Structure 1
Amino acid sequence: MRKLTAGLFYSVDGVVEAPNLWQFDSFDDELGAGMGQMIGRVDTAILGRVGYQEWAGYWPSAASGDPFGDFINPLRKYVASRTLSGELGWQNSRLIEGPLEDFVAALKNSDGGEIGVFGSISPVRQLLFAGLLDSLTLMVHPVIAGKGRRLFEDGDPLTRLELQESQQTSKGNMVLTYGLRTG
């Protein structure tokens, strides 16, 4: 069975939206190396509509030689959306038909490498609470963002997690990887 993972930049106050507005001076070489290892295992991406539209507007025209651009552009990308329709313009992208949970459960049972959920808050939440996400990596930056969308919301179900890995980087980032606690 294929592993489903997600990684999000995370402020101390829980903001995950628009990390480009608050992570600037705390991104360091260790964080970059960890991200390189993470994406090195992924051969399929899941994106939500918002993440897809933001990234499709930037990454296809990113300079050649950009490590993330060179990774994400040729990657198979599946997009969860209730509002997009038709063919998607970004190479190797297609819409998910039917419920996200059903699609991802079938994808996990297919051949291939790791499946990564990228830049998409709603799908990460949905797949975590459905019990399909094998690991969630939060890259906690030493900053209080003050505003922006948070990953977790009032009314979310009580969900027990277990710490799978942790690392502190030289600029004070904490890289915390969690999985659902069983038992």
Structure 2
Amino acid sequence: MAKVTLTQFLTVDGVVQAPGGPDEDRDGGFEHGGWLVPYADEDMGRFVAEGFRAADAFLLGRRTYEIFAAYWPRVTDPENPVASRLNALPKYVASRTLDGVGWHNSTLLGDDAVREVAALRQRLEGEVQIHGSGNLARSLMAHGLIDEYRLLTYPVVLGGGKRLFDGGAVPTALERTGGRTTSTGVVISTYRAAGSPRHGSFDLEE
């Protein structure tokens, strides 16, 4: 069975929208696109490269697929750990609006992405990675289909925008399995899903 991992860039207040550029995602009048870029450094680059080297396949939502497909096929350096993996490995795309996917080794999933990902998880081996793809990630989280979270939290507050853990998130306990902080203050934390949250109380006993 494959391990499904999610790598996500988010602000301190949980925003994941348009980290890489001003026009990446302007839904809702979002005007802070590109908030990640000033914090990119060698530490972040090493972490991202390590992650991509571990991939055996990718799961992508429509918007992330289109952004990646417009950029990464143009990067032909075989030593680039991101381009070499993305361009060669299988890519499974969740979309109800795309008619087809032309990027090498890409497959368009059917209308029930959750059911198809559950089947892929059983059929494949190794690590299947989700990058970005917030809508897809939220759907899979709601059905317990993400095994590991790799969250990069950037020292910026935006006050609005799409969030990974929104008001409909399913309560889930996470176990921290690793982490580091980059030179620009990005906190990288890795978690694995650990079932339902436990509860207690600090109330004084009678």
Please confirm whether the aligned pair reaches a TM-score higher than 0.5, indicating the same fold: yes
Match of 2:176 in 1: 163
Cα distance between partner residues in 2 of 1:111 and 1:180: 20
Conserved? CA contact 2:59–2:94, under 8 Å = yes
Partner of 2:10: 10
Deviations 1:26-58 (A, max 9, x none): 222222112222111111100011111222122
**Cα drift, residue 182 of structure 1:** 2.7
Find the counterpart in structure 1 of residue 120 from structure 2.
Answer: 107
1:175 maps onto 2:193 in alignment: no
- Once the two structures are overlaid, the 10-residue window that deviates more, 143-152 or 12-21, is 143-152
- What residue in structure 2 maps to residue 19 of structure 1? 19
Aligned partners of 2:173, 2:125: CA distance in 1, in Å?
Answer: 29
Distance 1:13 1:111 in 2: 35
Aligned position for 1:40? 53
In 1, Cα distance between equivalents of 2:168 and 2:145: 20
**Greater relative CO, 1 or 2 (CA 8 Å, sep 6+):** 1
The one-letter amino acid paired with 1:80 is A
Unpaired segments of 5 or more residues in structure 1? none
In structure 2, distance between residues paired with 1:111 and 1:132 = 14
Moved more, 17-26 or 59-68: 59-68
| Alpha-carbon spacing, 1:157–1:110, altered in 2? closer, same or farther (3 Å) | closer
The residue aligned with 1:75 is 89
For residues 47 and 136 of structure 1, what CA distance do their matches in structure 2 show? 15
**In structure 2, which of residues 148, 158, 161 is the aligned counterpart of residue 135 of structure 1?**
148
SS for the counterpart of 1:73 is helix
- What is residue 124 of structure 1 aligned with on the other side? 137
Name which one, 1 or 2, has greater alpha-carbon Rg.
2
CA distance in 2, matches of 1:8, 1:161: 15
Q: Which moved more, 1:114-123 or 1:52-61?
A: 52-61
CA distance in 1, matches of 2:176, 2:142: 17
Q: Which stretches of structure 1, 4 residues or more, deviate above 4 A after TM superposition?
A: none
Unaligned segments of structure 2, at least 5 residues: 21-33, 197-206
- Give the paired residue count: 182
* Superposed CA RMSD: 1.8
* Distance of 2:124 and 2:169 partners within structure 1: 32
Question: 8 Å contact 2:150–2:190 — kept in the other structure?
Answer: yes
User: What is the CA distance between 1:156 and its match in structure 2?
Assistant: 2.7
Q: Which of residues 110, 132, 138 in structure 2 aligns to 1:97? A: 110
User: Identity of counterpart residues, as a percentage?
Assistant: 38
Q: Distance in 2 between matches of 1:111 and 1:54?
A: 25
